[in-house]
Amino acid sequence: MGNGDSLTRVLGPSKKKGATGKADAVTHATKMPLSGPPNPALPHSPHSATLSFMKPPTQIQSLLQTLFRAVSTSDLKSLQSISLPDPDLHILTEHKADAEFLSRLDAELDNLQPHVLDQTDTTMFCRAYFRGMLTPIALVKTADGWRANLRWWTAAAKPQHDSYRSARAFMFALMTADQEILDQVCVPTPGLAILIHGQSRPPGGEMGQYEHVASTLPLIELTTADTYPSSLGTPMPVKPEWIADDRKLLLIQYHETEIALAARRCEDGNWRIDPTILIATIARRMQEPYA
């Protein structure tokens, strides 16, 4: 398969606003694959090695069961009770699961198998096997206890901006060590090759897996009310000039890590990725053993 074919598969056809059907979008939002082929240069959480197979506490298991039940039965009130405030939560409850699945929902939830991939004092990142897919769930500890951060899900259930497509194509290029695609989807950036330094191209027969993972990576668009992980791993405020009409700051989930990607609309009208933040992160990590 040529590079052009893979890029087309990851990007897909450009969708006009409102082109994504809500039923398909809800399914996509709640069945996003979490894992994919890792790029050894990308940052990973220091907690993940010890937490990869850790079962969550009982209260989290109960929260996740409530979450999946609410989405499956279109119960917005229950969904709001265990989630962070989000004006778009209703999108996830507008389409009830089919009768055949609802008849075995209790059994599905009893057999729910969530695992904690990453945890801090105030955040937790889990995945759960539900309806045949590994589903990622971000949790935040509030004054009222743990709550699901479903912003990632509601973002996936909306029409996708062209900058999102570019970000996913960028991640595909990282996963497959494809310099040609990197050059296509990035603004001219010094040190771009460092992003795939030391990686080997995967076998052509595995490209379908990479395309699927990249095209469904969870992604949100940040605002000035948000923070993003800096090259040192510390939260940094989003500056207004980074989210002007021709610029966006995106946050994408890859394995247990959140990666900030700046997107820019170029003179030809296409959105491309400015990977300066990620290059700085990787350059720092490569220097650490010799510091």
**pLDDT over 70 at 49, yes or no:** no
**pLDDT over 50 at 48, yes or no:** no
**pLDDT category, 194, cuts 50, 70, 90?**
confident
Report the chain's mean pLDDT, rounded to a whole number: 81
Query: Which of 60-69, 150-159, 229-238 shows the highest mean pLDDT?
Result: 60-69
**pLDDT over 60 at 25, yes or no:** no
Sheet containing strand 123-130, strands side by side: 113-119, 123-130, 133-142, 145-149
**pLDDT over 90 at 168, yes or no:** yes
Q: Does domain 22-156 have CATH number 3.30.750?
A: no
Q: Classify 204 as helix, strand or coil.
A: helix
**pLDDT over 90 at 287, yes or no:** no
**Residue 166 CB: number of other CB atoms within 10 A?**
25
Q: Classify 136 as helix, strand or coil.
A: strand
The predicted pLDDT at position 261 comes to 92
Q: CA torsion angle for 172, 261, 121, 68 (degrees, to 10)?
A: -50
With 0.85 as the threshold, say if the pTM is over it: no
Domain boundaries, the chain: 3-18+160-290, 22-156
The predicted pLDDT at position 53 comes to 56
The predicted pLDDT at position 5 comes to 58
The predicted pLDDT at position 147 comes to 97
Residue closest to 155 by CA, chosen among 142, 146, 171, 168: 168
